[in-house]
Amino acid sequence: MACATRSIPGCGAEPLVTSGRPELSDALLQVKGLHTQFPTSRGLVRAVDGVDLEVRSGEVLGVVGESGCGKTMTALSILRLLPDPGRITAGQILFRGRDVTAMSPEQVRDFRGNEVAMIFQDPMTSLNPVTKVGSQIEEAMTAHSKFSQQIAKERVLELLTRVRVPSAERRAQDYPHQFSGGMRQRAMIAMGLSNEPALLIADEPTTALDVTVQAQIIDLLKRLNTEMGAAIMLITHNMALVASLCDRVVVMYAGRVVEEGPVEQIFSSPQHPYTWSLLRSVPRVDQARRERLVSIEGLPPDLSRLPGGCKFHPRCPFVEARCREEEPPLAEVASAQKARCWVLMRTLGDNPQDRIEPSAARATLLSAGEADGAVG
């Protein structure tokens, strides 16, 4: 009980061996200070550089950010599936209190699929072309001892029906090339769910699909989340997807978390300039075009040569002297909302875009020709 008065991180660091102690939060997965690095000839690439995040049971957590900011590497670290020469160099990944980074290869193998499953971006290449879809799903089950061979066979049809594959019985006998993209992603999801994992990591599950199919897959994920109670960690750069599906959102930049909080709160009052910029770069149908759609200038930093201070400062329109010197901590900025920023959007008044006049003027100048062409 002494813990309650102290900060939560200090508490969680204590070994969770004492059984019967009430859990402080219903955290399913806790990632603490995760560092994943790739020693390459160009230098050390810090793909994940001190990520702290938490997935609670049954929730849908969105992980957003531009390409190359460590989202996928965080997911692959959780499953210990890092491609060579990637290594987890520091930090803990606690799944129900067990540290994944300390597991033996045998334990990791049992952990994958059984407790945390992952579905990948491109369903066209994620299924083995020479094996029937049904037996691939069956195999995901027989790799573990949760289900007997007989039950696994029966479950294949049940799962295919559950992910809305029509005439499942016949479709199970098909090869992947006889499936369309959306159907393959359904089959992948069925495979991911086959061992009833408590957490499903979906790495841009809709990116490779066309828009109408995307909607179906999102709908399916949403329903599976409520029906089966599996938590979902949704990696995406699609803000609309986050808004429609997630409970909480984590924004990543340069291998670290820059902001996190409940979806409504993040969307209505983002505190980190990066989150604010990301949201501003998404077109909105529900609002009149009062402001121009803006892109974030520049590119995410080279992960082998990170800038000093706040990693976003070279691209930040609200940069201050302190930002260049010292990296801000991920601090609580509102209830349940944390941001890693010295400035914070709320200190910038109601119309922060007015403060970035020079750069905005340039953006206007650059896109004026285009916009005129489009309108005319």
Partner 1 sequence: MASAVAAAQMAEWDSPEQIGLWSDAWMRFRRNRLAVVGLVIVILLLIDAFTAPLLVHLGVIIDPIKQDVAHIEVGPGGFGHLLGTDELGRDTLSRLMYGARISLTIGILVQGIIFVIGGTIGLTAGYVGGRVDNLLMRFTDIWYAFPDLIFVLVLVSVFGPSLLSIFGAIGIVNWVNLARLVRGQVLSIKEKEYVEAARATGTPPLRIVLRHLVPNALGPIIVTLTFGIPQAIFLEATLSFIGVGIQPPTPTWGQMVNDGYQAVYANPSSVVFPALAIGLTMLAFTFIGDGLRDALDPRMRR
Size of the site for partner 1 (CB under 8 A): 37
**Residue 184 DSSP one-character state:** H
Q: Contact with partner 1 (CB under 8 A): which of 130, 211, 365, 374? A: 130
Q: Does 153 bind partner 1 (CB under 8 A)?
A: no
* Alpha carbon distance 232, 246 (integer Å): 9
Contacts of 263 (CB under 8 A, 6+ apart): 62, 242, 243, 246, 247, 248, 249
* Alpha carbon distance 244, 343 (integer Å): 29
Name the one range near partner 1 by CB under 8 A: 66-74, 139-147, 264-272, 296-304.
139-147
Q: Does 191 bind partner 1 (CB under 8 A)?
A: yes
Q: Which of 195, 236 has the CB closer to partner 1? A: 195
Q: Contact with partner 1 (CB under 8 A): which of 66, 175, 280, 352? A: 175
Q: Does 161 bind partner 1 (CB under 8 A)?
A: no
Determine if residue 74 is left, alpha or beta; phi over 0 gives left, psi from -120 to 50 gives alpha, anything else beta.
alpha
Q: Contact with partner 1 (CB under 8 A): which of 25, 40, 67, 131? A: 131
Q: Contact with partner 1 (CB under 8 A): which of 15, 20, 129, 283? A: 129
Minimum distance of partner 1 from residue 99's CB (angstroms)? 18
**Residue 84 DSSP one-character state:** T
CA distances from residue 63 to 84, 113, 261, 278 in whole angstroms, order as listed: 24, 20, 11, 13
The torsion of the CA quartet 363, 368, 370, 375, rounded to 10 degrees, works out to 130
Q: Does 125 bind partner 1 (CB under 8 A)?
A: yes
Q: Does 167 bind partner 1 (CB under 8 A)?
A: yes
Name the one range near partner 1 by CB under 8 A: 127-135, 286-294, 304-312, 333-341.
127-135
* Alpha carbon distance 242, 239 (integer Å): 5
Q: Tell me how many helices (H) and strands (E) the chain has.
A: 13, 12
Q: Which of 203, 260 has the CB closer to partner 1? A: 203
Residue 165 amino acid letter = V
How many Cα atoms occupy the beta-carbon half-sphere of 55 within 13 Å? Answer: 29
Q: Does 113 bind partner 1 (CB under 8 A)?
A: yes
Q: Contact with partner 1 (CB under 8 A): which of 21, 42, 87, 177? A: 177
Q: Does 126 bind partner 1 (CB under 8 A)?
A: yes
Residues 78 and 31: beta-carbon distance below 8 Å:
yes
Q: Does 226 bind partner 1 (CB under 8 A)?
A: no
Q: Does 283 bind partner 1 (CB under 8 A)?
A: no
Closest CA to 313 of 269, 253, 225: 253
Q: Does 38 bind partner 1 (CB under 8 A)?
A: no
Q: Does 208 bind partner 1 (CB under 8 A)?
A: no
Residue 60 amino acid letter = V
Minimum distance of partner 1 from residue 170's CB (angstroms)? 8
Q: Contact with partner 1 (CB under 8 A): which of 99, 122, 247, 297? A: 122
What residues make contact with partner 1 under the rule CB under 8 A?
79, 81, 109-114, 117-120, 122, 125-131, 139-140, 143-144, 166-167, 170, 173-175, 177-178, 188, 191-192, 194-195
